[in-house]
Amino acid sequence: MTLSTTIKALAAAEHLAVVSDFDGTLSPFATAIYDVEMNQDSLRALDKLAHLPHTTAAVLSGRHLAGLQRVCPLREPVLFGGSHGAESSWEETDLTPAMREHLTAKETEIRAIMERFPGADIEVKPFQRVLHLRALEDTDPEAAAQAYEAGLALDPGGFPRTAGKSVVEFSATQATKGTWLDELRERTGATAMVFLGDDVTDEDGFRALHQPPDVGVKVGEGDTAAVVQLADVDAACRDVISAAGYGDYFVHSTGHGVGLDVHEAPFAARTGKGELAAGMTLTIEPGIYVPGKGGVRIEDTLIITEGAPKIITAATKEFTEVPA
Q: Round to the nearest angstrom and report the end-to-end CA distance of the chain.
A: 43
DSSP H stretches of helix in 12-133: 40-50, 65-71, 97-116
DSSP letters spanning 171-205:
ES----HHHHHHHHHHHHT-SEEEEEE-STTHHHH
Task: Return the amino acid letter for 66.
Answer: A
Architecture of domain 3-92+175-229: 3-Layer(aba) Sandwich (3.40)
181, 225 Cβ separation under 8 angstroms: no
Q: Which residue ranges of the chain lie beneath pLDDT 50?
A: 230
Q: Report pLDDT digits (tens) over 129-153.
A: 999 999 999 999 999 999 999 999 9
Residue 66 makes CB contacts below 8 A (sequence gap 6+) with 82
For the domain bounded by 97-171, which CATH number is listed? Answer: 3.30.70
Q: In 3-state terms, what secondary structure has residue 84?
A: helix
19, 205 Cβ separation under 8 angstroms: yes
β-bridge partners, 229 = 218
Domain ranges of the chain: 3-92+175-229, 97-171, 233-311
Q: How far apart are CA 114 and CA 121, in angstroms?
A: 6
Distances (CA, A) of 182 to 81, 85, 97, 141, 189: 12, 10, 26, 38, 10
Strands 287-290, 294-297: pairing is: antiparallel
124, 100 Cβ separation under 8 angstroms: no
